[in-house]
Amino acid sequence: MLKKVPIAVLCSGGGTNLQAILDSAAAGAIPSGEVVLVVSDNASAYALERAAKAGVETAVFDRKAVPSRAEREEKILSVLQEKKIGLVILAGFMTILSEKFTRAFENRIINVHPSLIPSFCGPGFYGLKVHEAALARGVKVTGATVHYVNEVCDGGPIILQKAVNVEEGDTPETLQKRVMREAEWKILPAAAEIVCKKLLQR
Ligand code: GAR
């Protein structure tokens, strides 16, 4: 039996969720997994610097350099298979994955989404847009969700959720920051451990 599940984290931007996973792992909170690869579809993602600082290997398939989604997915799939990745974590990864991809890693892909699914999710709801929609609707409570990824965008089984209060005077930016700090950065590493532990028991 493998002692740790090899994890790949896929990111497109700042990578604060990647950082939360790396910090949790360094603190011993993800004993069942190990981040061995960071993949980005954006060559200038700050997440790549975070990975380099942590000594984690990176692979880049830039959206501008490789404009075809199918071609990018093929390249990502082959690097994941080559590295024998057991769990794929989408941490601010802004490409919606095809059914071919999700089938290839069935029950082995998780995603963090910055709302309480089923609110403010699905195609078009990503990043700040999610918080703009939550504020426009006037909700008083929002939060974050970690879920398995299947062929339905944001539709896979939910693993963890955490609620966060909306405060008077919030902007999309202040709300995004609070949801990250109070919810995403906690539940994503926790879900990674839950899923890795389950995979090791298979
Ligand atoms: C996070 O808020 C994440 O939940 C969101 O993008 C941000 C990435 O931040 N993901 C989505 O909206 C996916 N639908 P990060 O790069 O600093 O982790």
Give the integer Cα–Cα distance in Å for 79 and 139. Answer: 41
Pocket test for ligand 1, best of 113, 153, 188 (most atoms within 8 A of CB): 113
CB-based burial label for 22 (10 Å; 0-12, 13-18, 19+): buried
pTM: 0.97
Helix extents (H) in the chain: 16-26, 46-53, 69-82, 99-104, 128-137, 172-179, 185-200
Q: Which residue's C-alpha comes closest to atom 9 of ligand 1? A: 92
Q: Which residues are catalytic?
A: 113
**Residuewise pLDDT in 10s, the chain (202 residues):** 559 999 999 999 999 999 999 999 999 999 999 999 999 999 999 999 999 999 999 999 999 999 999 999 999 999 999 999 999 999 999 999 999 999 999 999 999 999 999 999 999 999 999 999 999 999 999 999 999 999 999 999 999 999 999 999 999 999 999 999 999 999 999 999 999 999 999 8
Secondary structure element (H or E) that encloses residue 61, with its range: none
Residue showing tokens 């959206």 = 63
Per-position b or e across 145-181, b if 16+ CB within 10 A of its CB: bbbbbbeebbebeebbbbebebeeebebeebbebbbe
Neighbouring C-beta atoms of residue 66, cutoff 10 Å: 17
Pocket test for ligand 1, best of 184, 187, 188 (most atoms within 8 A of CB): 184
Verify whether ligand 1 is closer than 6 Å to residue 156 (CB atom).
Answer: no
What's the gap in Å between 2 CA and the centre of ligand 1?
30
- Are residues 40 and 60 in contact, defined by beta-carbon separation less than 8 angstroms? yes
